[in-house]
Structure 1
Amino acid sequence: MTAHTAHIQGFIDHCRSIKSLSANTIKAYQQDLNIFGNFLNQETSPEAVTSEKIMDFIEYLRVQRQNSPATVRRRWICIRKYYSWMAAQGFVCPSPCDKLPVRIQLPKRLPRALSEPQVSRILMATKSSASMRRKVELQKPSNVQLSTDLALRLMIATGIRVGELSALRLEDVSTDGERYRIRGKGSRERIVYVMNPPLQERLRSYMSARYSDGSKPSSNFFVNRNGSTLTPQTLRLRIKKLAELSQSETRITPHSFRHTAATMLLEKGVDIRFVQKLLGHSTISTTEIYTHVSDQSLRNVLQNADPIALFG
């Protein structure tokens, strides 16, 4: 094991055990640092890396790898955190990232919320995709149609992330199907609520079936056809197929339902502070991007109505 590999592993262990970062973030950091290590050709030790070498790496990402601005920015942040940890451990002094004039301009993109007809078509597609299955199979928690339909409805009702949904356990859900304990980013926990009575009833029935199939209280709430944890990747693939079935012209991802939940709540007049709490945003500035979506919706409505046009 080279010194570079050992330092990377030490940083990753720190992120996992001390910082309690999510598995997805740790996976991304590991990938970013491996790319950085390959760029160095394993010839330059991490202690000998200069500020100029860091700038060369950023240019390499932009020009040769043709990474998007968002990817370049994420990898720059990873390298900066890595060397901050190296400096704290006494491996370098100072960090070669200190005071570097790195400016990465990201394009301003509004989150894409689904329209009500789009949501309706997706939910209808979950039913049509299972039209040939036996009725008894539709009541099993491992049934694809049932778990997918409930997962999508729960994301729309609460705005939870797909990773949070995958990590949801039976013990996190109140017996009445109303209260859900969510484990968010950075091991932060929050409570979300389902206030729709029909959805509460369906979730209670699903939960009851999960217990009756021999599951323990610590078992995951949503399962796949084999009774194992419903992973984010599996749900992404299911949504992709549903989007094709519904003939959607736009790309639909699990995060689309989170955007939709936030946008719909704001458009119905819910205070942004409540939306922030529901989504688990650490700062309200992150939530404020959805107010721009609402403004755009208002603009579209006024443009279509155009009352002054009646008068010529």
Structure 2
Amino acid sequence: MTAHTVHIQGFIDHCRSIKSLSTNTIKAYQQDLNIFGNFLNQKTSPEAVTSEKIIDFIEYLRVKRQNGPATVRRRWICIRKYFSWMAGQGFLSPSPCDNLPVRIQLPKRLPRALSEPQVSRMLMATKSSASTGRKTEFQKPSNMQLSTDLALRLMIATGIRVGELSSLRLEDVSTDGERYRIRGKGSRERIVYVMNPSLQERLRSYMSARYSDGSKPSSSFFVNRNGSTLTPQTLRLRIKKLAELSQSETRITPHSFRHTAATMLLEKGVDIRFVQKLLGHSTISTTEIYTHVSDQSLRNVLQNADPVALFG
């Protein structure tokens, strides 16, 4: 086991136990550091890493691996945090990342919300794909169409992330189907609410069926056809297929439903502070990006209406 391997494991353990970073973030850091270790050559000791080597690595990501700006930036941040931790532990001093003039410009892209017709077509696609099955089979929690339909509706109602939806447990849901405890990024918890009576009733029925199957309170709320946890990757694939079935011309991902929930709430006049709390954003500046989307919607409406055109 090389010195790099030992230190990387120590840093990962620190991120997991002390910083309480999410599982996805830890996996990303592990991958980033493995790529960095392979670039250096595993025989290179951490103390031998220079600032020039860090710059070479960033260039390697851009040119050789052809990583996009967001990926390069994430990997640069990971490496910077890793060496900062190393310096803090006394393994080296100073960090080779200190005072490096690294600037990675990210393209400004607004979140892409789905239109109401797009959402309707996606939900209709879940029903049409289920129409050939027997009713009794469709009512089972493991039924693919049922779990997908409810998952999409819950994301639209609450704006939760796909990872948060996958982590949802039966014990996190109130018996009336209204209150949901969400485990967000950095192990932060928040409460979201479903206020639509019809959706509440359907989620209650789904939860009741899960308990009837012998599931424990700690069991996953949403399950796949085998009765195991519905994973983010499985839901992504299902959404991709539904987008194809609904003949969508744009790429639709689970995060599209989060963007849609935030945008629709703001367009209906919901205070941005409530939207921030619903989405679990630590700062309101993250939520404010959705106001730009709403402004664009307003611009489109005014452009189509064009009242001045009435007067020539």
What TM-score does the superposition give when structure 2 sets the normalisation length? 0.99
Say whether 1:85 aligns with 2:70: no
Cα offset, 1:24, TM superposition: 1.0
Cα offset, 1:43, TM superposition: 3.2
Cα distance in 2, alignment partners of residues 96 and 41 from structure 1: 17
Can you list the C-alpha shifts for 1:76-99, whole angstroms capped at 9, x where unaligned? 000001011111111111111111
SS of the counterpart of 2:206? helix
Instruction: Name which of structure 1's ranges 223-232 and 10-19 shifts more when overlaid on structure 2.
Output: 10-19
Can you list the C-alpha shifts for 1:266-286, whole angstroms capped at 9, x where unaligned? 000000000000000000000
Cα offset, 1:21, TM superposition: 1.1
Cα distance in 2, alignment partners of residues 50 and 151 from structure 1: 48
SS of the counterpart of 2:249? coil
Give the CA RMSD over aligned residues.
0.7
8 A contact 2:4–2:45 mirrored in 1: yes
Q: Could you say which residue in structure 2 is the equivalent of 1:107?
A: 107
Cα distance in 1, alignment partners of residues 304 and 43 from structure 2: 62
Cα offset, 1:163, TM superposition: 0.3
Say whether 1:271 aligns with 2:262: no
Cα offset, 1:178, TM superposition: 0.3
SS of the counterpart of 2:100? coil
SS of the counterpart of 2:21? coil
Can you list the C-alpha shifts for 1:226-281, whole angstroms capped at 9, x where unaligned? 11000000000000000000000000000000000000000000000000000000
Cα offset, 1:108, TM superposition: 0.2
Q: Percent identity between the aligned chains? A: 93
Can you list the C-alpha shifts for 1:183-204, whole angstroms capped at 9, x where unaligned? 0000000000000000000000
Cα distance in 1, alignment partners of residues 122 and 195 from structure 2: 21
8 A contact 2:2–2:43 mirrored in 1: no
Cα offset, 1:45, TM superposition: 1.1
What TM-score does the superposition give when structure 1 sets the normalisation length? 0.99
Cα offset, 1:291, TM superposition: 0.3
Cα distance in 1, alignment partners of residues 42 and 212 from structure 2: 54
Cα distance in 2, alignment partners of residues 47 and 261 from structure 1: 48
Cα offset, 1:13, TM superposition: 1.3
Q: Could you say which residue in structure 2 is the equivalent of 1:49?
A: 49
Structure 1 unaligned blocks of 5 or more = none
Moved over 4 A (4+): none
SS of the counterpart of 2:182? strand
Can you list the C-alpha shifts for 1:13-40, whole angstroms capped at 9, x where unaligned? 1111221111111111111111111110
Q: How many residues align?
A: 312
The 5 Å alignment of 1:182-261 reads 182-261=182-261
Q: Could you say which residue in structure 2 is the equivalent of 1:24?
A: 24
8 A contact 2:180–2:193 mirrored in 1: yes
Cα offset, 1:64, TM superposition: 1.7
Structure 2 unaligned blocks of 5 or more = none
Cα distance in 1, alignment partners of residues 122 and 92 from structure 2: 53
Cα distance in 1, alignment partners of residues 144 and 43 from structure 2: 50
Instruction: Name which of structure 1's ranges 120-129 and 63-72 shifts more when overlaid on structure 2.
Output: 63-72
SS of the counterpart of 1:288? helix
8 A contact 2:140–2:209 mirrored in 1: yes
Can you list the C-alpha shifts for 1:205-229, whole angstroms capped at 9, x where unaligned? 0011011110011101000001100
